[in-house]
Structure 1
Amino acid sequence: MALTNVRLANFDNTALDSISRTINTATNGIEALAEQLATDTTFAQSLIDAVELIGDGHGRVVVSGVGKSGHIGRKIAATLASTGTSAYFVHPTEASHGDLGMVTSDDVLILLSWSGETAELANMLTYAKRFKVPIVSISSNRDSILARNSEIALVLPKVPEACPHGLAPTTSAMLQLAVGDALAIALLERRGFSAEDFKTFHPGGKLGAQLRLVHELAHLDDQMPLLAVGRPMSEAVIEMSAKGFGVIGIVDEAGLLVGVITDGDLRRHMAGDLLSQPVEEVMSHHPKVVQKDLLASAAMEFMEEHKVTVLFLVDEAGMPEGILHIHDLLRAGVA
């Protein structure tokens, strides 16, 4: 048994060393890319030019590549599409068998090839030149056929692969992905793409839940537990029990929210005459409130920061418009 444990320990150490080398190699690759961006003005200008070319375009972005570059290309196209830049991926083999008909002179091609000499991209290059479709290439070879035939060549630093044989695309694929993400986010910010816009493209799953607005999850109108100043605590307790939120909002003569009473306030003021006291003697002033157009994810963060489980939604004047319980956020899948 002891021998088995030793062997397992040695295996784990060997695996951990390999994992560590891979992560360090990846880190060094990203650092090399950041260093090139900071020191190589040609590279930096090429990225800016790519953002301007795509941002000013009237068509779509067509992304293509083979092998691991193709997988990275699919992800880049998906990220562009989800952040406001119309984009799709075309496999170069399918392009050579009819899918080139989807590419127009209004589009921009993003072609990925680490070597820049991928034979499968030849037909796309020929088509692009014939119909004047601008090409943004992502490679590591400035003298390659791909880079030399691109309007904008994004030439990445030649970095070691994490693969000990230098064969499996690892660090190189990560650098391609990083540049693709950088272009997508720069275009997002250039367009002023908002969280509301993002929600339109991400209606499902946890991300969709986080991007919902609080008024979509809140309880409105008669569901809100409210009581006017001057009313006795006996009525407040009845209203709190009836609505079941563990809190009641107190409004002034103008209907503005001026305080709240929570279960904790009841415990702190527990005495023989509690039920006869006016609500303003027991309520907590300056309640934590949010406006109805706040993102659900932000509301969850606000609750956690202020250690509250219920929020009133108010308009700009302070008029209550709804009430939101943390359970509403949890049921919607925000957390």
Structure 2
Amino acid sequence: MRPQPTSTEHLLALARQVLDIEADALRTTSSRLDAGFADAVHLILACSGRVVVSGMGKSGHIGGKIAATLASTGTPAFFMHPGEASHGDLGMITQNDVVLALSNSGESNEIVCIVPLIKRRGAKLIAMTGNPHSTLAREADAHLNASVDKEACPLNLAPTASTTAALALGDALAVALLDARGFSADDFARSHPGGSLGRRLLVHVRDVMHSGDELPKIDHDASLKVALLEMTKKGLGMTAVVDPAGKVVGVFTDGDLRRALEHALDLQQARVTDLMTPNPKTIGADELAVAAVEKMDTLKINGLLVVDPDNTLVGALNMHDLLKAGVV
């Protein structure tokens, strides 16, 4: 084997060529979409069981990712290795399922040989191939055309553009199903409770705010001394200022205190209303915690008061609370 040049220019040129070929493959796949795609979507929507994805070799790796994407976006799915299928794993398939079989040639022996068994079980078959005239495509109830003009491999052998096309077609299928099912951000979060996406979509302000005895608040006629004691006791770097009905009229923060110290004020006699920030920015308890993060970032503040629709104080939170909850 003769070594090839490894200059930066050569490597970048080769990388760009690969990306261009694969981008062209995706555009070609898009142009070849036909009624078979809609048929596949309808078969899965009508399915009362699960989508069983199968593929051999590189197609199998792509199939595993497609199954995972389907499962996380509202379509129950799992991957079945075709080599294991004829050794007992076919028992995973029921008549209520849909099988999505991937094979670039459409002639992969491990896939083709289990097609009659899939049919016998009464399951529907969707084929994703690069050859619409292949055995697998002909036997399928719906066919997804993932053919490409050439691979990105200089030898035109290694599955590259073809696997990219299949992966993207699987994503298109998952998104079409997601849209048809009315799958929401909350649904997505419930499928990802352990990750950062789940935390950002599931955690609400009410879940992280301080309330009850932990909530810093003082009356609107309180002295500065009372405000400082309340801030120190509750440890949020601020205190809400409320009227007799409990409605927010202002907020006093450590920033307000620093600004007060820059002036010749009688701190013993000063009232909090002389130093507070009136009509402060607030947020509702039912809003997502990530909305609180965005509001604080935009306003360049470290805390927010939480109010109900009538502007009655119900809670308070700061950036540390959001960091602790893993939302930031």
Residues 154, 301 of structure 1: CA spacing in aligned structure 2 closer, same or farther, 3 A cutoff?
same
SS in 2 for 1:219: coil
Partner of 2:137: 147
Q: Secondary structure at the match of 2:96?
A: coil
Question: Hey, what does 1:293 align to over in structure 2?
Answer: 286
Q: 1:161 to 1:322 in 2, by over 3 A?
A: farther
Partner of residue 91, structure 2? 101
Quick check: 247-256 or 134-143, which moved more? 247-256
The superposition leaves residues 25-57 of structure 1 with CA deviations (integer Å, 9 ceiling, x where unpaired) of: 2222223333x1xxx5xx243323322221232
User: Does 2:159 correspond to 1:169?
Assistant: yes
1:47 maps to what in 2?
37
Q: Secondary structure at the match of 1:138?
A: strand
Note if contact 2:25-2:165 (Cα within 8 Å) is conserved in structure 1.
Answer: yes
Number of aligned residues: 321
Q: Which SS does the other structure have where 2:310 is aligned?
A: coil
Contact 2:148/2:161 (CA < 8 Å) preserved in 1?
Answer: no
Q: Once the two structures are superposed, what CA deviation does each residue of 1:191-231 show, in whole Å capped at 9, x if it has no partner?
A: 22223222222122333332341332332322121122222
Cα deviation, 1:248-276, whole Å, max 9, x if unaligned, reads 11222222223222222223344413553
- Displacement of 1:21 in angstroms is 1.7
**Residue 217, structure 1, aligned to residue 213, structure 2:** no
CA deviation after TM superposition for structure 1 residue 106, in Å: 0.8
Task: Classify 1:258/1:56 alpha carbon distance in 2 versus 1 (closer, same or farther; 3 Å).
Answer: farther
Q: Distance in 1 between matches of 2:219 and 2:22?
A: 62
Q: Match of 2:56?
A: 66
DSSP-derived class of the 2:189 partner: helix
- Which residue in the other structure is 2:256 paired with? 265
Partner of 2:13: 17
**Matched-pair identity in %:** 45
Which residue does the alignment assign to 2:225?
Answer: 234
Alignment-mate amino acid for residue 119 of structure 2: K
Pick one of 101, 104, 121 that aligns with 1:111: 101
**Secondary structure at the counterpart of residue 211 of structure 1:** helix
Equivalent residue number for residue 158 of structure 1? 148
- CA 169–292 in structure 1, closer or farther in 2 if over 3 Å, else same: farther
SS of the equivalent of 1:258 reads strand
Structure 2's unaligned 5+ residue stretches are: none
Pair 286,18 (structure 1): closer, same or farther in 2 beyond 3 Å: farther
Q: 1:288, CA displacement in angstroms?
A: 2.5
Change (3 A) 1:326 1:84: same
1:191 aligns with 2:187: no
Which residue identity lines up with residue 291 of structure 2 in the other structure? A
Distance 1:148 1:212, change over 3 A: same
Alpha-carbon deviations, 1:155-183, whole Å to 9, x = none? 12424222111111112111111111122
Q: Does 1:330 align with 2:320?
A: no
Q: Which amino acid aligns with 2:99?
A: L
Q: Secondary structure at 2:207's aligned position in 1? A: helix
Task: Give secondary structure in 2 for the equivalent of 1:249.
Answer: strand
Residue in structure 2 matched with residue 3 of structure 1 by the alignment: none
Paired residue for 2:247, among 245, 256, 272? 256
1:330 CA displacement: 2.2
Q: Which moved more, 1:43-52 or 1:89-98?
A: 43-52
Per the normalisation by structure 1, the TM-score is 0.87
Distance 1:97 1:329 in 2: 51
SS of 1:161's partner is coil
Corresponding position: 1:134 with 2:127: no
Q: 1:147 to 1:232 in 2, by over 3 A?
A: same
1:91-119 per-position Cα deviation (integer Å, ceiling 9, x unaligned): 01111111111111111111111121111
Instruction: Tell me the residue number matched to 2:303.
Output: 310
CA apart distance, 1:10: 5.8
Moved more, 171-180 or 213-222: 213-222
Moved over 6 A (4+): none
Instruction: Give the conservation status (yes or no) of the 8 Å contact 2:148–2:165.
Output: no
User: CA offset at residue 129 of structure 1?
Assistant: 1.9
Q: How does 1:196-207 map to 2 (within 5 A)?
A: 196-207=186-197
SS of 2:43 mapped into structure 1: helix
Distance 1:99 1:328, change over 3 A: same
Q: Render the CA deviation track for 1:273-328: whole Å, top value 9, x for unaligned.
A: 35534433333233232233333333323322222221223333333333222122
Could you tell me how far 1:82 is from its partner in structure 2? 1.4
CA apart distance, 1:22: 1.8
Q: Distance between the aligned counterparts of 2:122 and 2:137, measured in 1?
A: 16
Alpha-carbon separation, structure 2, partners of 1:203 and 1:275: 51
- The one-letter amino acid paired with 1:33 is T
Contact 2:29 2:148 (8 Å CA) reproduced = no
Structure 1 Cα separation of the partners of residues 202 and 19 of structure 2 = 36
Work out the CA distance in 2 between the residues paired with 1:192 and 1:274.
Answer: 58
Please tell me the root mean square deviation across aligned C-alpha atoms, in Å: 2.2
Secondary structure of residue in 1 paired with 2:251:
strand
What is the Cα deviation at residue 61 of structure 1?
0.8
